[in-house]
Each structure stands twice: as structure tokens, then as C-alpha cells.
């Protein structure tokens, strides 16, 4: 059956996130790292874990994006052994760190090699959309991808997040496609591959770290170049072995 729509995860599928976040944290917490008050591994762990802890409170409107971000960075500062003497200084320090992180992150963020060319060619054949757990649709992300896309499904706007099947169904209904005619491409086995597969979508696991696939009948791409191979795998034009080293 011909593919009618392809949904892509964004972070660490089309755009670098983990590497970008690590570089930004190293800039923002330079002093704490130099003083050995923390480690980069610890900062990365806290940044991710606190973000995911607070994200439901952002989705339900309890916290704004700015409030959640400030709380996250204040807790990271406290983990380094720093305390503010007043509420005002606590707020000022956390907001300063959060803004510095965002600026550094935006400077470091780049596309996954081959992603832009892949999107450009897919858009001429099928409906293409972004399905992301990000809080907002970033203008910078749109500019980095270069290819104007009509379909952006962002957790912060929809009020749903992966792996909730409702989020996938929301996107599929918006593009006018049934699960059987759609493909999900993402780097997360738990949030992208498994929920898509459970709905009847065909899933392609973007696996640049060459991890072993838990299931042998899932198509795998390690990179998006060469273009022809990536298109063949995503559109199901070739049915080769599971491990496709593009």
C-alpha cells in the first residue's frame, strides 16, 4: 500500500538535541564545572529529568514555559551547592541561567546531516509532518529545516505528548491519513516506534548509535545519506534486511 504521509520526530531525528544541550550546559555552568561543583554528566541528567518532571505541569497550564525553565535551572544551581539569600536573587539567578542556556542552545543547534534534503524530496511525494514533544514551535527550528512544512504537531500547542496514541491519531486526522497509510520516523524506541506500531503505522527507527533493535521486523536507518536509500526505506520501496546502513 502506498505511503500517503510521513511523520518525523524532531529532536535527535531531524535536529541535534542531546549534543546541543550538552554544549549549551557546558557554557552556562562553566564556573561550576571548573570548580568541580558538578559534572557535565550530572547536569545533563538533571536537565532532562527535571524537564520531564515539570512538563505535565506546563501542559496543564499550571506553569508557563518560562516558569518551568526557571525552576529547572534553580534546582540545578542548588544541586551544585549554591543558594540564594533572597527570593529575588533566586529568581534573578535562575532566569539569567535559563536565558543564557536558551541563547547558547540556539547557537549550537544544527540539522542532522541529510535531513533537509530528505524533507525536500519527501514533500514532493507525500504529506510530511513534525510530531514533537517540544513545548513550542520554534521559528529557528523552522528556519534550520529550510523546507516549509504545513503540518507541525507540538505538545505545548496540542496538549498531548508521545507516546500517547491520541497524539498520533490527532496528527493523522489532521493530515487526512489512516495509520495504515502512514510512517513514523523517530529516534525513540519507546516514544516513536512502539506507539506508532501499536496503531498500525509503519515505524522507521532512526538509530545513529547503531544500537541493537529489540524487534527484528522494524526498519532501521542509521543516517539519512545517501538520499536514495533513506527514501527507499521510509517509503517502503525496497524491502531489504533490518539493518540498513545508509
Give the model's confidence band at 83: pLDDT under 50 very low, under 70 low, under 90 confident, else very high.
low
Give the model's confidence band at 241: pLDDT under 50 very low, under 70 low, under 90 confident, else very high.
very low
245 has pLDDT over 90: no
Helices of type H across the chain: 18-28, 30-34, 40-59, 65-79, 87-108, 115-123, 139-145, 155-158, 165-175, 194-199, 227-235
Residue 152 vs residues 32, 113, 172, 187: alpha-carbon distances, Å: 37, 21, 11, 18
237 has pLDDT over 60: yes
Query: Looking at residue 52, what is its pLDDT?
Result: 94
Our measurement of the distance from residue 84's CA atom to the centroid of its chain's CA atoms, rounded to an integer in Å, reads 33
3-state secondary structure of 131: strand
Query: Looking at residue 87, what is its pLDDT?
Result: 53
- pLDDT tens string 15-63: 999 999 999 999 999 999 999 999 999 999 999 999 999 999 999 999 9
Amino acid at each position: 500500500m502506498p505511503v500517503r504521509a510521513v511523520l518525523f520526530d524532531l529532536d535527535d531525528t531531524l535536529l541535534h538535541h542531546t549534543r546541543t544541550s550538552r554544549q549549551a550546559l557546558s557554557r552556562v555552568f562553566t564556573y561550576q564545572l571548573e570548580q568541580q561543583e558538578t559534572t557535565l554528566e550530572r547536569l545533563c541528567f538533571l536537565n532532562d529529568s527535571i524537564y520531564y518532571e515539570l512538563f505535565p505541569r506546563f501542559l496543564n497550564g499550571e506553569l508557563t514555559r518560562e516558569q518551568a525553565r526557571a525552576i529547572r535551572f534553580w534546582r540545578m544551581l542548588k544541586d551544585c551547592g549554591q543558594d540564594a539569600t533572597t527570593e529575588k536573587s533566586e529568581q534573578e539567578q535562575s532566569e539569567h541561567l535559563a536565558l543564557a542556556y536558551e541563547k547558547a542552545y540556539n547557537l549550537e543547534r544544527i540539522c542532522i546531516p541529510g535531513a533537509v534534503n530528505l524533507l525536500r524530496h519527501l514533500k514532493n511525494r507525500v504529506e510530511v509532518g513534525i510530531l514533537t514533544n517540544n513545548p513550542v514551535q520554534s521559528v529557528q527550528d523552522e528556519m534550520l529545516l529550510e523546507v516549509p512544512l504545513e503540518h507541525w504537531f507540538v505538545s505545548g500547542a496540542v496538549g498531548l505528548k508521545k507516546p500517547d496514541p491520541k497524539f498520533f491519531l490527532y496528527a493523522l486526522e489532521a493530515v487526512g491519513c489512516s495509520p495504515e497509510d502512514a510512517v513514523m520516523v523517530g529516534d525513540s524506541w519507546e516514544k516513536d516506534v512502539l506507539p506508532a506500531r501499536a496503531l498500525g503505522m509503519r515505524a522507521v527507527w532512526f538509530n545513529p548509535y547503531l544500537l541493537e533493535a529489540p524487534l527484528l521486523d522494524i526498519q532501521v536507518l542509521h543516517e539519512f545519506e545517501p538520499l536514495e536509500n533513506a527514501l527507499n526505506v521510509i517509503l517502503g520501496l525496497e524491502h531489504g534486511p533490518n539493518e540498513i546502513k545508509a
